[in-house]
Amino acid sequence: MQANGAFDPPVLCATNTRRGFLRAAALGLLGAAWPGKRAKASSSGLEVDLPQIAYAGGNWQPYPTAMRRLAWELHKRTLVNTALEPSEIKPTAAMLSRTPLAFLCGDRGFTRFSAEAVEALSRFVRLGGTLVIDSATTPDGEARAFDRCADELLASVLGETPLTPIASSHVLYRTFYRIDRPMGRIEGPAFMEGAEKDGRLCVIRSRHDLGGALAKDNLGNWLAEVIPGGERQREQAFRLGINIVLYALCLDYKNEEPHRRFSNSAQ
Amino acid sequence: MTAATFTSPLPQVTKEWTLSFLGGFDPSALIVLSLSIIAGVIWTWRALDPSMPLRIRLSIAALRTFALLLAFAMLLQPTLRLRASTFNPARVAVLLDGSGSMRRGVDGPRLDKAIAMASRMGEDLKRRGSAVEWYCFTDELQAISDPKGAAGCAFESRGTDLRTAIAKTVANENRVTPLSALVVLSDGADTTMATGNRESDLSGWASTIGAPINTIAVTGASARRDIAVAEARTDRIAFTRTPTSILVSLSAVGANGESVEVHLLRDGAVVRRGNCEIVDGAGRLTFSFTPISIGEHVLEVALSPTHQDEIPENDRTFLSLSALRDKYRVLHLAGRPSWDQRFLRGTLKDWPKMDLVSFYVLRSELQSETHGSSGMVLIPFPTEELFASHLPEFDVVIVQDLDLVAVGIDQYLPRISEFVQQGGGLVYIVGPAGLPPTISADEAMHAILPFVPLPVGAATVAFETAAFRPQILPNGRNHPLLALAQDTSETQQVWQSLPQLEGLARVARLAPTALALAGHPSLFVEDGPAPLFTVRDVAQGRSLAITTPSLWRWGFSGPMTGGPSHAYSGFWHRAIAWLTKDASLDRLKLLVAPNPAKMGGTAVIEVEVLDEAYQPIATAPVEIAVTWTNSDKSRGVHEVKQSTDGQGKYRFEWMPTIPGPHKLTVVAPSQNMQSQSEFLVLPSSEEVQHLEPRTELLEALAKDSGGTFQQDTAQMGKLAGLADSRNRVVSSRDLSLWSHPVTILLLLAVLGAEWLLRRRSGLW
């Protein structure tokens, strides 16, 4: 990260193996050099962008096509005016101010965020932004290392606000599709976690490798196998992704009385 | 209270001597002392030489005995007390109720009967030597010289307050000796204690007076049957759409067990009916009233017109309440999920005064057909339910990025137009695609929107996507909608610190009577800068159009980068207040003080006129009319035509001529503005609601204070406290015998004589 014209030395969050440390350090050194060149944000607030946060010292984009795929499905299935080419953003106040929804993905440990980045993310979630964190389970990745780094980052960003399991009755699971349990490329835990501010989920944390279920390669083939549920589970993952975006946009809309009435009668 | 005149016979002074002992010995000490003296005498006798002559021995023993007794007497400290005292006759305060109800009566004014009884009582008391203080009371107290003074007892009376009258009488500082007794001649028609609650209101109070209160109920012949609306109470402040309770108390004579129909009326129309059963001369009823509109509400509580009794004047009463808006009911319709819709929803939901109902279109018909509805929780857009039934329940409808025709609401567009024209508020916000083409063809929307859309197929680009920093236009400089800070210069600074907006829908021009408050810095329409915020007064309602879908950046992007954090929410709060004609944002302000006004007093009526830019208008002509209905059903009116001062205000004082509801209408012809309000003028007295005698209160007063109660008669023998003539000590003087020099000399003489006799007898 750049501060006062000089690079901060990359500080790694918890990595419990020497190999992991060396790899993260190397990635950190590399990563410190590039974000200014590659990161870009959607120039228009008229579209709903699904940007991924580009960070240093890890793999911020384990599935490069996942967000594009989700954007396309949103465009196809809903009236959300989606930006079909999701952007990349650095965790700065200026870039985070462009869009109130951001995805933080990864499959390994990453360099500790600078104080400015933590402050920017903290303002982001406090002022109405939604931060979605997805742990990827790539073959050469270390999802646990990513989880530890993400935990450490969230502790700084959220302060006293705890991360707790999102109840299956939460409106997030009813905001467009009815979802019984969260699923991504893997079945994962029966719940996602979230942090609330003013009654709104400002952080949604998935340990289900959601991006892995959405991504396709350049030839249009699914990039990763979905286990154990196969294509049916992949559809569930898409539905979860769509619900997350719709929740960020509509908040507790589906909790209003007419919708609750309908939801109850449909059950 | 004026000074009381006391009548009293000349006092007779009597003197009396009394002997008292101040030594303070208890009986056991006295016994010990007495035994010591006896032992001393025996010891003295036995100590004398028996060979001495008996005469000498007897003399010495006698002198010793006398000395011991004298010393004993001095120890007891005998004192002579001279008391001079006078005989004080009983001091009696007689209170005559001079209130309005006492000046009525089926067989003549009750006050005449009270005066006659009090006069007879006065002569009797005089014969007994009692000192009498005369008072007349209503809700005030006045000293009078004799009972007949009660007839001319003249002061502004608003009711009857027995407790205050008695308390003030007892507290009279001009009185030297305390009262022996009070005599109250009244019909008991107190106006300060709720009907049916009087005994509990008085609980414990009368016993603290310190003198018996003898009450004489002066009732005469009562009405055979009368039911009165004794009282109607409610909280002065109520909230719209929130039920408020109105407590009605009835008092009745000759109607026990009856059920009477009571009406709650507004503007002469019955809004609630209820039945009230009369038990023990009283009845209670609670109406639930829900104000729909904000402002003053004057209500009437009246017995059913079919009801008939002997005193029709007390069959109704008025009350007023001021209704504030508790919540804004807003219907938010969005054509698609977007950040603009999300932040508007968030801001409205975070506002405690907001009652929000939302319907967002989440997918199109085509999407629905293509992808089916499996696993979805979407509900059909309840157009008929919303627009045919529930639309009038909302204060404001927000239409955001919604093609009303495309979603099948076109058949209800006349309803929406009617909603606005009848006082509703409309916000129209364009979406990222600009204005839907169908809006150009809809006449109903044209009637309420503040702009004229571009015609279909117009050559102009319908939607500009470039970012821009809007500029405040002249009509927006003082408009409350854009008052993002306390004053205009600060507002300008805040405005400059806001993030740029993206996207602007082009319109053809402003609608007639619409105002553009802010616009694009470089794009223009037919009649000026391309508008961003346009407002319009539409008959009774108002509309606001926002031609960018990126206003959400004020609520998120701005604060994220250190910009003002409350600009966005503040804008929407003011927008909703302006659309719903919040009184604080009225351009023609009316004020009546006090409200309710009162007969006999003056009401100050103030009018303030502001222009469209919310600047005071000096020398603006105003036409003010206060109207009311006279007792003969004719219409009364007081009209004033004047001009405002340099502050845009005009105020005058006016004295009401009749109690009841009044309407205030103000027209500012130069601004084509008219405003209405209503206020209540209360009667100067509540007596008319409390005309019938209430003997239970007088009985309770007498019982609690140790006095007696009589009805329509004043038997002197039954009055408590009159026999309590007291001796009052005027002076007291003490003469101490034990310390008197004669006593001491006598003791010395006795001791000296004994000593001399002993010496001459050869002793010691």
Checking if the pLDDT of B290 tops 50, the result is yes
Exposed, middle or buried by CB within 10 Å (0-12, 13-18, 19+), for B636? middle
Cβ-based contacts of A46 with chain B (< 8 Å):
432, 465, 502-503, 549-550
Name the residue type at position B129: G
List the single range of A256-265, B49-58, B213-222 with lowest mean pLDDT.
A256-265
Q: How many angstroms separate the first and last alpha carbons of chain A?
A: 50
Residue B247: pLDDT band with limits 50, 70, 90? very high
- Which residue's structure tokens are 């509703």? B424
Task: Determine, for residues B363 and A78 on separate chains, whether the beta-carbon distance falls below 8 Å.
Answer: yes
Length of chain B: 764
- What are the DSSP E strand ranges found in B413-527? 425-429, 451-452, 463-468, 471-472, 501-505, 509-510, 515-525
Segment A169-189, tens digit of pLDDT: 999 999 999 999 999 999 999
User: Scanning the structure block, which residue is given the tokens 């303002």?
Assistant: A123
B764 pLDDT tier (thresholds 50, 70, 90)? low
Which pLDDT belongs to residue B307? Answer: 77
When pLDDT is cut at 50, 70 and 90, the band that residue A18 belongs to is very low
CA atoms of B483 and B225, how far apart (whole Å): 63
**Interface TM-score (ipTM) > 0.90:** no
Q: What is the mean pLDDT of chain B?
A: 85
More confident residue, B11 or A195: A195
Confidence of residue B179 (pLDDT cuts 50, 70, 90): confident
- Chain B nearest-CA distance from A23, in A, is 34
Lowest mean pLDDT among B186-195, B430-439, B719-728, B742-751: B719-728
- AA letter at A36: G
Q: Which residues of A touch B552 (CB under 8 A)?
A: 45
Contact A250 B346 (CB under 8 A): no
Nearest Cα residue in chain A from B361: A79
Among candidate residues B461, B542, B445, the one with its CA nearest the CA of residue B507 = B461
Of B670, B681, B590, the closest CA to residue B629 belongs to B681
Distance CA B404, CA B398 (A): 12
Query: Is the confidence at residue B485, as pLDDT, over 70?
Result: yes
Q: Give the residue from B377, B502, B554 with the most A CB atoms within 10 Å of its CB, the best one to mutate.
A: B377
Q: Which residue has the higher pLDDT, B485 or A111?
A: A111
Domain A2-266: assigned CATH number: 3.40.50.12140
Name the token pair of A206.
């998935």
* Cα gap A68→A76, rounded to integer Å: 12
pLDDT in tens, B309-324: 777 878 889 999 988 8
Q: Residue B7: pLDDT band by 50, 70, 90 thresholds?
A: very low
Using a CB-CB cut-off of 8 Å, the residues of chain A touching B346 are: 128, 200, 251
Let me know if B751 is exposed, middle or buried by CB neighbors in 10 A (0-12, 13-18, 19+): middle
Higher pLDDT, B85 or A139: A139
CB contact under 8 A, B553 and A45: yes
Q: Contact B346/A177, CB-based, under 8 Å? A: no
Above 80 in pLDDT, residue B546? yes
Please name the member of A47, A239, A250 whose beta carbon is closest to the beta carbon of B342: A250
Is A174 in Cβ contact with B561 (below 8 Å)?
Answer: no
User: What pLDDT shows up at residue B46?
Assistant: 86
Cα separation, B675 vs B606, in Å, equals 12
Q: Is B579 helix (H, G, I), strand (E, B) or coil?
A: helix
Residue B679 in contact with residue B634, Cβ under 8 Å? no
Inter-chain CB proximity A266 and B502 less than 8 Å? no
| Distance (Å) from the alpha carbon of A45 to chain B's nearest alpha carbon | 7
Paired strand residues for B400? B334, B429
Q: In the prediction, which pLDDT does A68 show?
A: 95
Q: Which of A181-195, A218-232, B581-595 has the lowest mean pLDDT?
A: B581-595
Helix H or strand E encompassing B678: strand B673-682
Maximum distance among all alpha carbons in chain A? 61
Whole-angstrom Cα distance, residue B64 to residue B43? Answer: 11
> Is B549 close to A46, i.e. CB distance below 8 A?
yes
Q: How far does A177 lie from chain B, in Å, by closest CA?
A: 4
Residue B202: its pLDDT value, please? Answer: 66
Which has more pLDDT, B274 or B192? B274
Chain A contact probe: residue of B359, B379, B560, B569 with most A CBs at under 10 A? B560
Q: What size, in residues, is chain A?
A: 267
Q: Which two tokens stand for residue B188?
A: 């008991």
pLDDT band, residue A25 (cuts 50/70/90): very low
A177, closest residue in chain B (CA to CA): B376
Confidence tier at B5 by pLDDT (50, 70, 90): very low
**Arithmetic mean of pLDDT, B551-567:** 94
What's the CA gap between B63 and B57, in Å, rounded?
10
pLDDT at B8: 45
Classify burial at A114, counting beta carbons within 10 Å of its beta carbon; exposed 0-12, middle 13-18, buried 19 or more: middle
More confident residue, B347 or B281: B347
Pick the most confident of A262-266, B88-92, B574-578, B759-763. B574-578
Per-residue pLDDT reduced to its tens digit, B619-663: 999 999 999 988 888 999 999 999 999 999 999 999 998 888 999
Instruction: List CB contacts (< 8 A) between A257 and chain B.
Output: 357
The reported pLDDT for the residue numbered B52 is 82
3-class secondary-structure state, position B502: strand
What architecture is the B328-581 domain classified under in CATH?
Answer: 3-Layer(aba) Sandwich (3.40)
pLDDT value of position B12 = 64
Quick check: B502 and A45 CB within 8 A? yes
Identify all chain B residues contacting A100, using CB atoms and an 8 Å cutoff.
339, 342-343, 556
Reply yes or no on domain B90-222+693-724 having CATH 3.40.50.300: no
pLDDT of A14 strictly over 60? no
B363 → closest Cβ in A79, A94, A129: A79
For the segment B686-723, what is each residue's pLDDT rounded down to a tens digit?
776 777 777 888 888 888 888 999 988 888 888 888 76
Q: Per-residue pLDDT for A40 more than 60? A: no
Distance CA B591, CA B705 (A): 48
| A-chain residues near B369 (CB < 8 A) | none
Disruptive mutation site among A247, A250, A260 for chain B (greatest number of B CBs within 10 Å): A250
**B397 or B327, which is more confident:** B397
Contact A262 B361 (CB under 8 A): no
From the CA of A155, how many Å to the nearest CA of chain B? 20
Q: What is the pLDDT of residue B442?
A: 76
Q: Do B361 and A79 touch (CB under 8 A)?
A: yes
Closest CA to A244 of A101, A146, A121: A101
First-residue to last-residue Cα distance in chain B: 83
CB-count exposure of residue B712 (10 Å: 0-12, 13-18, 19+): middle
Whether residue B434 contacts residue B405, with contact meaning beta carbons closer than 8 Å, is answered with no
d(Cα B534, Cα A180) in Å, to the nearest integer? 46
Nearest to B176 by CA among B728, B723, B707: B728
Q: Please report the pLDDT score of residue A12 as a whole number.
A: 63
- Position A16 scores a pLDDT of 46
Q: Residue A19 has what pLDDT?
A: 47
Indicate the domain borders of chain B. Answer: 13-86+731-760, 90-222+693-724, 226-324, 328-581, 585-682
Confidence category of residue B426, pLDDT binned at 50, 70, 90? very high
Spatial distance between the Cα atoms of B349 and B584, rounded to a whole number of angstroms: 23
Residue A37: per-residue pLDDT: 37
Q: Give the least confident one: B2-6, B10-14, B144-148, B348-352.
A: B2-6
pLDDT at residue A33 tops 50: no
CATH number of this structure's domain B585-682, picked from the four choices 2.60.40.1930, 3.40.50.410, 3.40.50.720, 2.60.40.10: 2.60.40.1930
Residues B505-545: tens digit of each pLDDT: 999 999 998 999 999 999 999 889 999 999 999 988 999 99
Residue B384 tokens read as 């008929």
For residues B2, B7, B10, B16, the Cα torsion angle rounded to the nearest 10 degrees is -80
Output the pLDDT for position B705: 87
Give the per-residue pLDDT at B85. 75
Mean pLDDT check: name the lowest of A38-42, B232-236, B269-273, B702-706.
A38-42
pLDDT given for residue B224 in this prediction: 67
Q: What is the pLDDT of residues A67-84, one digit of tens each?
A: 999 999 999 999 999 999
Backbone phi, psi, residue B364, to 5°: -90, 170
Q: State the count of interchain CB pairs (< 8 A) between A and B.
A: 126
From chain A, the residues in CB contact with B560 under 8 A are 93, 96-97, 120, 123-124, 127
> pLDDT at position A131, please?
97
| Token pair 């974000």 in the structure block, residue | A35
Percent of chain B with pLDDT over 90: 34
Residues of B in contact with A121 (CB under 8 A): none
pLDDT of residue A175: 93
**pLDDT band with cut points at 50, 70 and 90 for residue B467:** very high
Lookup: tokens for B551: 């206003």
Question: What average pLDDT score do residues B158-162 get?
Answer: 81
User: Would the CB atoms of B362 and A178 count as touching at under 8 Å?
Assistant: no
| B140 has pLDDT over 80 | yes
Q: Which residue has the tokens 């007949």?
A: B148
Tell me the DSSP string of B146-191. SGGGGGG--S---S--HHHHHHHHHT-TT-SSPPSEEEEEE----S
Asked whether the predicted pLDDT for residue A110 surpasses 90, the reply is: yes
Query: What is the pLDDT averaged over residues B151-166?
Result: 77
Residues of A in contact with B378 (CB under 8 A): 176
Pairing of strands B541-546, B528-538: antiparallel
- Asked if residues B227 and B312 have their Cβ atoms less than 8 Å apart, the reply is no
Burial of B352 from C-beta contacts in 10 A (0-12 / 13-18 / 19+)? exposed
Burial of B414 per CB tally in 10 Å (0-12, 13-18, 19+): middle
B226-324 placed in CATH 2.60.40.10: yes
Q: How far is residue B134's CA from residue B148's CA, in Å, rounded to a whole number?
A: 10
Distance CA B72, CA B59 (A): 20
DSSP for B82-136 reads: EEEEEEEPPEEEEEEE-SGGGG--TTS-HHHHHHHHHHHHHHHHHHTT-EEEEEE
Strand pairing of B181-186 and B213-217?
parallel
Q: Helices B567-579 and B339-349 meet at what angle, rounded to 10?
A: 70
State how far the alpha carbon of A19 is from the alpha carbons of A15, A136, A139, A142, in Å. Answer: 9, 19, 16, 11
Rg (chain A; Cα; Å)? 18
List the domain boundaries for chain A: 2-266
Q: List the single best residue of A76, A78, A197, A262 to mutate versus B (max B Cβ within 10 A).
A: A78
pLDDT for B614? 77
Which of B365 and B154 is assigned the larger pLDDT?
A: B365
Q: Using the beta-carbon criterion (under 8 Å), do A77 and B345 form an inter-chain contact?
A: no
With CB atoms and an 8 Å threshold, state whether A258 touches B465. Answer: no
Q: What is the mean pLDDT of residues B479-507?
A: 87
The mean per-residue pLDDT over the stretch B40-48 comes to 87
CB-based contacts of B303, cutoff 8 Å, min separation 6:
B227, B229, B260, B261, B262, B263, B315, B316
Query: Which residue has 């084509």 as its token pair?
Result: B672
Residue at token pair 């985070």: A96
Residue B589 to residue B609: CA distance in whole angstroms: 7
Let me know if the fold of B226-324 is the same as that of B328-581.
no
In this predicted structure, the answer to whether residue A112 has a pLDDT above a threshold of 60 is: yes
The pLDDT value recorded for residue B459 is 67
